[in-house]
């Protein structure tokens, strides 16, 4: 359950980061709008030098911020800090721009809307209210500073509209936040159901494997031993044929037991399991294997990762027509990343989704499971250019 909560935390972080990135992308066009409005507006008096410095610094900081949030994880404080900077800069520009206050009016209306993307009603209400009163304060400042300007009645109308906009965006944000909470609840239920289904699947496979190993396989091995003794006492070609059939059946049954519940995973971990799969692969196919396997221990998702490697190697052996396959296994933070590439014929990635829709599992089933559990499987391929698959495990819990 701790692992499930960890995946939900990652999902919440993603939801929190998305609006910050959207706002960062919208900020540069907003700065361009500010520069254009003040340039085309007839301004009687302002402080052009200070205005250019503030707007230029704002543009540089916005560009750096956009690159930072697109390339790196977004901290939790990013949303309200960036919005606070927006509001401070806009009010500062109004203070130094003189008669350009009216030209910056659209910017005041846009600020509460940009905050509403964050799905935080309290912050939206706060910024909306501060924006409305900030606009009013700017006009009061100019009315006291310049008796000719006065305080037009339209200012109160604009102030009323801004208060209404703050209430409207807060209500909209509240609705969006409730919907996001329902989506998170559905995501939690989905993850829990998938996790329980996989655990049930693993338990069933373990029980079937133990039954086959302790029952039919042991009986078969005992029969083979008795037959071997009989062959020594009475050599007979017919007994040799029966013995070969028993030997082949025992080998196939042992392979089935291993596929249902690989003991190497439980005993030695994922790295040893992948190494064993590669050994088996090399005995079946005349394909060169280049492997760099880092010791990753026994991650909670090792059974799923093991299935992915087995399925991918099977596809390479049967369909790729490759002469070389490269496998890399490593740990990155709380995730395990496996990369498997071949120099084969490649395929159309659309086939995966089509096959899943038609009821053929395999890669499509793995894609769905990794997606549901918070991991990923990215396929890079094209007909005639080989295939590379990058499998990333769900995040590990802090157990």
Q: 86 near 139, Cβ under 8 Å? A: no
Q: Look up residue 27 and give its two tokens.
A: 């900020």
Taking residue 217's Cβ as centre, other Cβ atoms within 10 Å add up to 18
Predicted confidence (pLDDT) per residue in 252-280, tens digit? 776 676 666 666 666 678 888 888 888 88
Structure tokens at 32: 């361009």
pLDDT given at position 299:
83
Comparing CA positions, the residue from 75, 39, 80, 33 lying closest to residue 58 is 33
Label the pairing between strands 335-342 and 376-381: unpaired
**pLDDT digit string (tens) for 96-124?**
766 545 566 666 766 676 676 667 788 78
**How do residues 331-340 score in pLDDT, each as one tens digit?**
988 888 999 9
Q: Which residues of the chain have pLDDT under 70?
A: 1-17, 38, 41-46, 97-107, 109-111, 113-114, 116-118, 145-150, 187-188, 190-199, 201-203, 205-206, 209-210, 213, 254-255, 257-267, 348-362, 364, 397-399
The answer to whether the predicted template modeling score (pTM) of the entire model surpasses 0.75 is no
Classify domain 263-392 at the CATH topology level. Answer: Heat Shock Protein 90 (3.30.565)
**How do the domains of the chain map onto residue ranges?**
2-191, 263-392
- H-type helices in the chain, by residue range? 2-40, 48-71, 78-96, 105-116, 121-145, 153-212, 218-233, 237-260, 263-268, 270-284, 302-315, 350-357, 363-373
Stretch (H or E) spanning 338: strand 335-342
H/E stretch holding 293:
strand 288-293
330: left (phi over 0), alpha (psi -120 to 50) or beta: beta
DSSP string, 358-382: TT--THHHHHHHHHHHT-EEEEEE-
Tell which residue, 9, 93, 84, has the closest CA to residue 50.
93
Token output for 28? 């540069």
């Amino acid at each position: 359950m701790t692992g499930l909560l960890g995946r939900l935390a990652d999902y919440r972080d993603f939801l929190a980061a998305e609006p910050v990135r959207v706002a960062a992308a919208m900020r540069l066009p907003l700065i361009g709008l500010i520069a254009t409005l003040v340039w085309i507006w007839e301004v009687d008096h302002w402080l052009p030098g200070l205005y250019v410095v503030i707007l230029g610094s704002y543009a540089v900081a916005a560009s750096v911020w956009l690159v930072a949030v697109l390339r790196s994880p977004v901290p939790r404080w990013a949303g309200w800090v960036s919005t606070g900077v927006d509001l401070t800069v806009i009010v500062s520009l109004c203070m130094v721009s003189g008669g350009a206050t009216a030209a910056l009016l659209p910017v005041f209306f846009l600020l509460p809307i940009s905050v509403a993307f964050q799905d935080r009603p309290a912050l939206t209400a706060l910024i909306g209210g501060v924006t409305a009163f900030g606009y009013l304060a700017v006009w009061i400042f100019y009315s006291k500073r310049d008796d000719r300007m006065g305080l037009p009645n339209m200012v109160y109308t604009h102030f009323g509209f801004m208060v209404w906009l703050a209430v409207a965006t807060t209500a909209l944000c509240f609705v969006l936040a409730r919907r996001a909470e329902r989506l998170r609840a559905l995501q939690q239920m989905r993850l829990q159901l998938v996790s329980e289904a996989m655990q049930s699947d693993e338990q069933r496979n373990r029980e079937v494997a133990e039954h086959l190993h302790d029952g039919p396989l042991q009986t078969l091995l005992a029969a083979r031993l008795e037959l071997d003794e009989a062959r020594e006492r009475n050599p007979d070609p017919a007994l040799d044929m029966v013995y070969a059939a028993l030997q082949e059946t025992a080998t196939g049954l042992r392979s089935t037991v291993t596929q249902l519940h690989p003991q190497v995973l439980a005993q030695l971990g994922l790295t040893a399991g992948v190494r064993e799969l590669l050994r088996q692969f090399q005995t079946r196919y005349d394909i060169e294997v280049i492997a760099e396997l880092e010791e990753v221990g026994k991650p909670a998702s090792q059974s799923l990762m093991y299935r992915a490697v087995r399925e991918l190697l099977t596809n390479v052996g049967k369909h790729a027509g490759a002469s070389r396959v490269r496998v890399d296994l490593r740990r990155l933070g709380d995730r395990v990343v496996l990369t498997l590439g071949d120099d084969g014929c490649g395929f159309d990635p659309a086939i995966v989704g089509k096959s899943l829709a038609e009821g053929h599992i395999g890669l499509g089933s793995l894609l769905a499971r990794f997606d549901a559990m918070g991991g990923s499987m990215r396929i890079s391929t094209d007909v005639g250019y080989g295939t590379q698959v990058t499998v990333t495990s769900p995040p590990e819990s802090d157990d």
